[in-house]
Chains A and B, each alone.
Chain A
Amino acid sequence: MRSSALRPPRRSRLTPLARREALVFYLCISPWLIGLLVFMIYPIFRSLYLAFTRYQIGHDPVWIGLDNFRRLLDDALFWKSLGVTVQYVIGSVPGSNLVALGVALLLAQKIRGVGVWRTIYFLPSVVSIVAVSVMWYYVFNPQYGIVNGLLEMIGIDGPGWYTSETWAMPTIILISWWMVGTQVVIYLAGLKGIPQEYYEAVEVDGGGVWSKFRHITLPLLSPVIFFNVINGFIGAFQVFDQAFILGAGSGRPNNATLTYMLNLYKQAFEYGAMGYASSLAWVLFVIIMILTMFILRSSSVWVYYEAERK
């Protein structure tokens, strides 16, 4: 492996001892450096190149300029999958954050057996979505499922859930609300960081629970909410496992669960359109970048940083 980074730069002001230390440093980090070059830097450039080619694995890539991107604009599946993904993002990110925030607020109370409660709320998030997916087939089964059973008890004719084109995505969104353990933990840490005196101050002023939440908890927690939303947002755009499993690997029914990543996977590995899939990957990257930037910009409006006040 020849690389300028690997060789400590020879500078006269380095003493022999410092030079030795630099050598040890580069030796220490060499596994990561090699990984960086092979599994990060090279793939990025390769991927960028492939996005402008027609490429099937085993053949040579053919440069076609912007054709992939033009094709993408006319590709109904691209728009469909983008729409499905946006639907998931809009449903899952705010919803799961609301659930997580609610759970964290409950767990932050002075309650007995915090460990037990925390375990119960966290467990759904540690298990593999694939392993529990068979269980979801039961829970949302239109005919025998518990959800429709409960709805029937209150006189509602339950929908077809994952079998229905309208309800398949909402089903996946609902499942995402179940797996909020990591967000809860982060919110809890954030809540612990809020000084108790602030709440006491509100009490002195005669404020109730709502005032405390509105004027202390929410503003002081907003950086954590922001962090969770950004993270959830980036993750949600790349959703694959849930959609693959509940859509039986094909975006069933009628592409209602064809997420962006599922479409990308199919283009690359089922249709062998590696070049086109690369362009899809970069478009996704750009979409996520732009939207993240947008949220970052907007954050100054709704995220409260204590440090700014000083």
Chain B
Amino acid sequence: MTEISPSVQPVKAAPARPRGLRLSKSAGRRVRLTITYVLLVLGAITMAFPLVWMLLASFKPEWQILTNPPIWIPSEWIHAQAGDTTKEIPLWYVDDAEGERVRVFDIGTRRYTTVVDVDALADAMVAVPPDDLSEARAEEIGDVVLNVRRHKDGGEVVALARDGQNLVVAPVEAVVEAAQRLPLDYVNSGDRAALTVGDFRFQARELEAEGLTVVPLGPESQLTVVVPEDAAADVFLVDPEALGDFEYFPIGETDLPLYALDGYPEDQRFIQVGLETWQPVLDLDEALEYGFTVPTGDLPGTPEMRRFEQATLPVYTLTGEDGAAQEVVLLTQTGPNSMVLPVEQADTIRLSPLEKLAFPFVKTVSGVSLRFLDDYFEQGEKESVGIVGSRVDMAMMAPQSAIDDAFDVDSGSLDRVLKIRFRYENYTEALSRDMGGATFATFYKNSVIVVALNLLGIYLSVTPVAYGFARLHAPGKNTLFLVLLATMMLPFPVLLIPTYEIFRTLGMINTLWPLFIRSFFGSAFFTFLLRQFFMNIPRELEEAARIDGANTLQVLWNVMLPLSKPALMTIGIFTFWWNWNSFFEPFVYVNSIKNFTVTLGLAFFKGQYVYSFHWLMAAGMTTILPIIILFFFAQRYFIEGIQLTGLKG
């Protein structure tokens, strides 16, 4: 602000140079306006940023919410379907040999480190105090990556070892000659050896194949072998037991093991794309419709392990009362009870990768707890699945032909393939997710009930009270009006405990009643507001109605209320606003989840790890949305209401 004043100063000189005045005055105004707008925009960004961010976050998958650097626009990862399995393989963007950006997936990585043959450096090494050296910086020189430091007397060196307080260094040029990049697993497989060269001691590894003893220096690097996304169609699952011998197959600068597989010709080789734990699942409808429970003790003998697709589950043969045998698959067991499914109906059993099965629900079916998921995605279709049987480790394999197009890249150059996508399912999931017998939709319903009854109560009670104070005469009226004003100043903490007692005596704790019942007994603030409004309505209108024979109720309804719409709007909006946002009162009076309001529900869900961040964002947005919409359409009443008394914030 102060910077502006000099340009406004010429006002003093006004009479002398009217032209100059006009010019500098408008210039000053322009400067002031510019500063005003800059500050307004900066302030608006600060104000709006958190809400805009929350809105965007409510459309993100969970992993995009807390990231560094932040991901602003909601997007989703693109996957390739791995053959006939239920697995989706992450895709990455990478530049191929022609420098074209292609979509690939990762079939293996190998870590590398730089090793040095220090014998070859015997003459080049010196010990220097670390203070003479700059920080190390990884630099790629020739085939190797070295941690280069600058010496204070000039020249670049690489530190090879510690010598007491000092660092043993050698010039970069010499080190490059003696260095090579080798796979980390290979280096680590060599025996540890203490090596003494000149006056210095080194921690080294003996590499038999090279006939060398080398010192691993780092930095480590990682090469990833990738193949174009089409190859994903050939991926299949096998039991890791079936993996036979392997040999390394060179791909670019690196190599990957190729395996023989039991049950395939000797000369066929396969590449292992992944090894992870899988969980048998089946269609939930099928499990619930055909599955039944039997006492665990009635399951005869040891089961036969039978394969259903790739899943292996125990199969028992039950004998019915009529002597007929029935083969059943054991799905799940809860202590004394087991849930089984006739083998004929077990045709939807398959394996699912664990990452798809996060946050399952539990349903109890005749004493057996069945874990299930109702937002499970497979081949792009949403399904409900039951989670059954025990987990197995499975290897994902691709035929050797898949690596014909494979190439190696620096692991750091991979970018995940993303597509902008607003994940609106966050909202449906957030509202429908069952949390201990209630969903967020329940909380929404409760809040709507509470707000609606508050509105009803406030209108029913405030109108006659305000009318009485505005228009009618009676002894004691002025004193009572002062009392009404005084109650606005009452601090609620003092009333808290006795009010709680009252509701407890009335048996209203843990119901919605305490959240609205007091509205039926008026409100000092709203009464005052409406009374002021009534006072400004000309008496003549009322008297005309009275002459026509209207009673007090009819006067209120036909004359006063239609004329008081703005005040009634303000009252309604404030009632909605305060009750919708109210947290403390529901928190004190309600503790069963079925009666939670939205704010209480949000606070509760925040503490539940299974209700994750993206749902909280979506649920939070649905909570603030009604208020924001109300504010957009009725901004005037908000502002007038606040101006009127400036009460409450």
Interface of A toward B, CB cutoff 8 Å? 5, 8-9, 11, 14, 18, 21-22, 24-29, 31-36, 38-40, 42-44, 46-47, 50, 57, 102-103, 106-107, 109-111, 115, 117-136, 138-139, 141, 143-144, 146, 149, 178-179, 182-183, 185-186, 189, 203, 206, 208-210, 213, 227-228, 231-232, 234-235, 238, 240-241, 244-245, 248-249, 261, 264-265, 268-269, 274, 277-278, 280-282, 284-285, 288
CB of A28 within 8 A of CB of B467, answer: yes
Give 3 closest A-B pairs by Cβ, nearest first: A35-B521, A208-B5, A28-B468
Q: Please tell me which stretch of B92-100, B137-145, B390-398, B472-480 contacts chain A, meaning at least 4 of its Cβ atoms lie within 8 angstroms of it.
A: B472-480
- Given contacts A11-B475, A29-B469, A123-B631, A182 and B580 within 8 Å (CB-CB): no
Q: How many Å from the CB of A142 to the closest CB on chain B?
A: 11
- Given contacts A135-B54, A144-B67, A210-B1, A46 and B498 within 8 Å (CB-CB): yes
Among the interface residues B477, B497, B648, which one has the most CB atoms of the partner chain A within 10 A? B497
Interface string of B599-624 (1 = CB under 8 A from A): 11011001100000100110011011
CB of A124 within 8 A of CB of B50, answer: yes
Interface of B toward A, CB cutoff 8 Å? 1-2, 4-6, 8-9, 11-12, 32-33, 36-37, 39-40, 43-44, 46-51, 53-54, 57, 65-70, 460-461, 464-465, 467-469, 472-477, 480, 483-484, 487, 490-502, 504, 518, 520-522, 524, 527, 552, 577, 580-581, 583-584, 587-588, 598-600, 602-603, 606-607, 613, 616-617, 620-621, 623-624, 627-628, 631-632, 635, 638-639, 642-643, 646-649
- Given contacts A22-B475, A127-B624, A285-B493, A122 and B638 within 8 Å (CB-CB): yes
18 contacts between A and B (CB under 8 A): A5-B480, A27-B464, A31-B522, A32-B484, A35-B518, A39-B521, A44-B490, A106-B36, A106-B40, A118-B635, A138-B65, A146-B49, A178-B47, A189-B643, A209-B32, A231-B646, A235-B648, A277-B497
Q: Which of A40, A109, A119, A186 contacts B487 (CB 8 A)?
A: A40
CB of A134 within 8 A of CB of B643, answer: no
Q: How many Å from the CB of A236 to the closest CB on chain B?
A: 10
Which residue of chain B has the shortest Cβ distance to A152 in the bound complex?
A: B68
CB of A124 within 8 A of CB of B47, answer: yes
A285, B491: Cα distance in complex, Å: 7
CB of A178 within 8 A of CB of B635, answer: no
- Given contacts A111-B37, A182-B649, A36 and B487 within 8 Å (CB-CB): yes
Which residue of chain A has the shortest Cβ distance to B524 in the bound complex?
A: A32
Residues of B within 8 A of A125 (CB): 649
Residues of B within 8 A of A129 (CB): 581, 583
Residues of A within 8 A of B469 (CB): 29
CB of A126 within 8 A of CB of B628, answer: yes
- Given contacts A43-B498, A146-B70, A245-B603, A120 and B44 within 8 Å (CB-CB): yes
Residues of B within 8 A of A285 (CB): 491, 493-494
Residues of A within 8 A of B521 (CB): 31-32, 34-36, 38-39
A218, B476: Cα distance in complex, Å: 41
CB of A117 within 8 A of CB of B468, answer: no
Which residue of chain A has the shortest Cβ distance to B486 in the bound complex?
A: A40
Among the interface residues A57, A130, A138, which one has the most CB atoms of the partner chain B within 10 A? A130
A29, B523: Cα distance in complex, Å: 11
A90, B95: Cα distance in complex, Å: 57
Which residue of chain B has the shortest Cβ distance to A46 in the bound complex?
A: B498
A109, B527: Cα distance in complex, Å: 35
Supplied contacts A102-B43, A203-B11, 20 more A-B pairs, CB within 8 Å: A5-B476, A18-B473, A22-B473, A31-B461, A34-B521, A35-B522, A40-B490, A43-B498, A46-B498, A119-B632, A123-B47, A123-B631, A128-B623, A129-B581, A133-B603, A134-B606, A135-B53, A135-B57, A274-B497, A288-B491
Which residue of chain B has the shortest Cβ distance to A202 in the bound complex?
A: B11
CB of A127 within 8 A of CB of B522, answer: no
Q: How many Å from the CB of A300 to the closest CB on chain B?
A: 21
CB of B47 within 8 A of CB of A282, answer: no
CB of B475 within 8 A of CB of A14, answer: yes
Q: How many Å from the CB of B491 to the closest CB on chain A?
A: 5
A50, B584: Cα distance in complex, Å: 22
- Given contacts A38-B521, A122-B631, A128-B581, A146 and B492 within 8 Å (CB-CB): no
CB of A281 within 8 A of CB of B504, answer: no
Residues of A within 8 A of B613 (CB): 134
Residues of B within 8 A of A11 (CB): 475
Q: How many Å from the CB of A261 to the closest CB on chain B?
A: 7
Residues of B within 8 A of A117 (CB): 40, 44
A302, B522: Cα distance in complex, Å: 37
CB of A106 within 8 A of CB of B39, answer: yes
A241, B599: Cα distance in complex, Å: 10
Which residue of chain B has the shortest Cβ distance to A281 in the bound complex?
A: B493
CB of B501 within 8 A of CB of A57, answer: yes
Residues of A within 8 A of B36 (CB): 106, 109, 111
Q: How many Å from the CB of B613 to the closest CB on chain A?
A: 7
Residues of A within 8 A of B493 (CB): 238, 261, 264, 280-281, 284-285
